[in-house]
Structure 1
Amino acid sequence: MNKEIIKVSSFWGEELENLLISQNSDILTIILPGMGYTKDKPLLNFASKLSITRGYDVFFIEYGFQVVNKSLNINNNDEVSYLLKETIESIQCVLKKTYKKIIFIGKSIGTVIATKISDKFNEFDQIHILLTPVDATYINKVKYKTLVITGTEDPMINKIYIDKMMEDKNIRLVTIERGNHSLECSNVFMSIDMIKQAIQEVDNFLINNM
């Protein structure tokens, strides 16, 4: 297993340092975090470890606005465009012709990015794992086999979009009772069970689609 830092200049004035874990795999997992939900937090930490355990290469994306500790205005088309552009550039730095499949694992805003940029990499077979998507996620209709995991008490997604996802033949939708936007709740042990359930669903999805 080799670890390498892939540096990319960001619109926000800092250099991104994206971590690539390489295991000479023909499968690349791309981790797209949430606004405040980094790769080290439970859902993304365990999801990435599943990929590493299976021998896949794993690429962790940083966002320029997070590196400089600024907020992102998702209604500002220019800021969103810069975010997408630097994410695409980062991924292009590590893509190899030997890769046969890409797994996008996104959390919150990362799910929006995944659905927006996936067509830029349509020469690769893809599957998507969207953890706690938001309203803007489904504006870009899902075109690949996708696992969506959401909580019943997540205020960041409207039931209208959940209903649309339920009807989409490309999507397996898992709803976790009482889960908030982090798939947790006020009870510590219930939160652990929620995260465990989510990661088991991710594991099963990988088993059935790889």
Structure 2
Amino acid sequence: MSPVFSHGDLRLYLLNLLDEGPRHGYDIMQALSDRTGGTYTPSAGTIYPRLAKLEEEGLVTKSVDGRKTVYAITEAGHAEVQARAGELEGIEAGLADSVRLIADEVRGSVREAMRSLRADLAAARSQERESATAQGVSDDPRTASREQLHRADAAINEFRVRLRTDLRGHVARGGELAATMVDELTADLDRIARDVTRVLRG
């Protein structure tokens, strides 16, 4: 998955955020998350060393406000933001493209998982019909239904484990999990549940 910020861009973007007004560390991380639609939520280990470097360069100052450390841009920092306004426009445009690409990749993975689940359910229905035909009408339908219920449970559990593993692995590798993607996943699961309910009710 492509990074949201190219090398050096995050430094300038941090200066730009502080040029809008003083912020504490958590506020900066939240602003980055908000402006990338939740696809990029940096860790403290990413942000604070960069803020410290900006402070060393005389572009940022910090002060303590109660239990919070507040960062503010200096005149030198403001001058750099003004001088690199064109670069910031490019960063904003690239950021929007990166966010769209990341969201598309994640949505594609979710759709593939949804297709796999639908295929599993369709195969289970087909096998159920074939089994019923082969066994004849003398078999107890309740027994056959319980057997198919076990198969459906197994398919659902397999899907859950596979998707959960993919999502956890993505986050563990440093990937971002957008709220919009989770919303779409929830909507897709609701849609599948309604489809199954509609089939069961005939």
**Same-fold call, TM > 0.5?**
no
- Kindly indicate whether structure 1 or structure 2 has the higher relative contact order, using CA contacts under 8 Å at least 6 residues apart: 2
Under TM normalisation by the shorter chain, which class is it?
under 0.3
Structure having the higher strand fraction is: 1
Q: TM-score, normalised by structure 1?
A: 0.25
